[in-house]
Amino acid sequence: MSSAPALAARAADLKFSIVIATYKRAADLKETLRSLSGLRPDGSWEVIVVDNNSPDDTRQVVEEAARSFPVTLHYLFEQEQGRSPALNAGIRASRGSIIATTDDDVRVPADWLDRAAEGLEQLQSGYVGGKVLPIWGAPRPAWIPNHGGMHWAVIALLDYGPAPIEFGARVPLGVNMAFRRTAFESAGLLDPQTGRRAGTLLGQEVREWCIRARNAGVRGFYLPGMTVEHIIPADRLQKGYFRRWFYWRGISRARLYEKAGLNMEAPENTSLDFSKVPHVAGVPRYLFKKAVRAAGAYVRATLRREPLAAFERELWLWFFAGIVKQRWQDWRPGPGSARPLRSGGNESNRTS
C-alpha cells in the first residue's frame, strides 16, 4: 500500500489528473467522458481511464473519445481485479499535483476541478470530497428519501449539508474526491485487498484510507460546492439490492476488523479494546444481543404496519449476517492447522 517512493519519484508536471476505474460499463463511460470533456479548469490536466479487465469495448470507447478530447486521455489496463488496484494503477501513472477520482457513470460541472483546488488551498487539507447528487434512472421509491442519510450511502449518494466539515465520523465517497499528491506519499495508496470487486458489493476502501490518512496527520474536508451527479440505475432502486448491499457491508466491515481491530459498526470511533471483549465464533458477543433487539424491533414495526422502520431494522440484520459469515470464515482454523492470532486481537476470548 505504501508506494510512496514511486509517487515521489514521479514529478508532477500537470495541475490535475482525473482517474477513473471502470469495469464492463462502456456505454456509461462514453457519456461520462463526454461530460468530462466540458471541464474548463484553471490549469493543465489529464484523464486516465483504468480498464479493470472489461470484456466489452471499453478500450475502443476511450480511444475514440481521445481523438477529440480537449486534453490527453490515457487508456490503462489493470489486470488485478478490484477497484482499489485499478485506482492505484491510475494514481501511479498520473502526473498531476492534484489527483481527482470519480466513476464511469457521472456528470460533472465545468468548475469541478477548480472547486476542488480552491478547497484544498483554503482549508489547507490533504484531500477533499463533495456532494454526490442523483440522476434517477427510474422513479425514486417512496422508501428512499430525497435527501442524505442511511439509504443514500447504499446507492453512492452524499449530502452533508451546506457547510464544510472535517472528515472523521463522516467519510467521503470515492466518486467525488480530490487529493494532493503528497497525501498518498504520506498515507500510502488504497488497500488492494479492500474495495469493490466484480461479483461482490465489497466496500470500505475509502473509509480505510481515510482512517489511515488521519493517523498519518493528513486532514480531509467535505466541500458542499464540489458536486457531481451520479446516475442511479433502476436495478439499484430495489429492496433486494439494499439487502445485498448491507450484507456485503457486514462482510467488508468484518474484514476491516480482522485486519485492524476496528469497530465494525463505526470504524472511525474505535474505543473498545476488543481483545478484552467476549466473543462468540469471532463475533463480539454484544452484537448478538443487539441482533436480538433488532429482530424484536423489526417484528414490532411490522405488526404496527410501519414498513420504513421495519425495513431499517431488517437492513441491520442483513449487515449482522454479513459480519457473522465473514467472522466465522476468519475465525475457524483450517483443517489440521492452528489458527494464528489476527490484528483484531480477539482470539483469546473465544466463547463456545
Residue 182, all three cell numbers: 503528497
Q: What is the pLDDT of residue 321?
A: 98
* 75 and 63 Cβ atoms separated by less than 8 Å: yes
Mean confidence (pLDDT) of the chain: 90
> Regarding predicted confidence, which is higher, 269 or 118?
118
pTM over 0.85: yes
Q: Delineate the domains of the chain, giving CATH numbers in brackets.
A: 4-237 (3.90.550.10), 241-349 (no CATH)
pLDDT tens per residue, range 309-343: 999 999 999 999 999 999 999 987 655 433 433 43
Q: How far apart are CA 158 and CA 173, in angstroms?
A: 7
Q: How far apart are CA 349 and CA 331, in angstroms?
A: 11
pLDDT tens per residue, range 150-162: 899 999 999 999 9
pLDDT tens per residue, range 90-136: 999 999 999 999 999 999 999 999 999 999 999 999 999 999 999 99
* 32 and 105 Cβ atoms separated by less than 8 Å: yes
* 167 and 225 Cβ atoms separated by less than 8 Å: no
Residue 249, all three cell numbers: 457491508
